[in-house]
């Protein structure tokens, strides 16, 4: 198994830290902010592989191009990037459901639970958002409270708002979000 590769990429919401497994080109961690904080969230077996910073392998180039395309307005570019993260069956279903929520759209935590096959598992849907290790490739920023407000986001509500605005979601002056037509 190869050393994991990490880099930071420019996005409309600021630097995006990305960790890629060069063996299969899959993103295993991503998020806004410090790479060391992101690294600390990884499972010990991944951390034990070590990492190379600022990597420019073919796998990282594919991810870099997708992020650049997203930043330039090709809002579905991140959907093409393969991701992998540990989690139970419901979390995997919830993450898969999040990837089906297209840019410019939002759903509530309740709607996410239903999309993941367990309509009553609203708290578990919120937990899946909180445990997402590969944002924005798994777009948990598109999940809102039932009243349309932003809710939470591990990287801050300002980052969530910037991502949603970039994707064409109209935001009110306060942290509430006006939901687009579905």
The partner residues of 107 in beta bridges, in order of sequence, read: 143
Q: Is 129 a catalytic residue?
A: no
Catalytic residue among 140, 144, 159, 161: 140
Length of the chain: 182
SS3 50: coil
Take residue 47 and report the two structure tokens written for it. Answer: 């951390």
Q: Which pairs with CB-CB distance under 8 Å and at least 24 residues apart come from 157-162?
A: 159/13, 159/14, 159/32, 162/12, 162/13, 162/14
SS3 40: helix
The whole-angstrom separation of Cα 60 and Cα 27 is 9
The whole-angstrom separation of Cα 66 and Cα 69 is 5
Alpha-carbon 169 to chain mean position: 17
Question: H-helix or E-strand containing 108?
Answer: strand 107-108
Catalytic residue positions, numbered: 140
């Amino acid at each position: 198994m190869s050393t994991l590769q990490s880099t930071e990429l420019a996005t409309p919401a600021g630097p995006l830290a990305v960790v890629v497994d060069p063996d299969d080109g899959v993103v295993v961690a991503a998020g806004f902010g410090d790479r060391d904080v992101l690294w600390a969230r990884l499972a010990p077996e991944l951390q034990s592989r070590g990492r190379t910073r600022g990597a420019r392998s073919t796998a990282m180039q594919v991810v870099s191009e997708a992020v650049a395309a997203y930043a330039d307005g090709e809002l579905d570019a991140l959907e093409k990037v393969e991701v992998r993260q540990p989690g139970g069956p419901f979390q995997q279903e919830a993450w898969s459901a999040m990837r089906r929520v297209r840019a410019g759209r939002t759903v509530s935590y309740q709607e996410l639970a239903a999309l993941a096959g367990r309509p009553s598992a609203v708290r578990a849907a919120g937990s899946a958002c909180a445990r997402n290790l590969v944002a924005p490739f798994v777009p948990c920023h598109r999940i809102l409270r039932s009243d349309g407000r932003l809710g939470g986001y591990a990287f801050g509500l300002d980052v969530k708002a910037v991502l949603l605005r970039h994707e064409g979601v109209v935001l009110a002056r306060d942290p509430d979000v006006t939901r687009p037509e579905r």
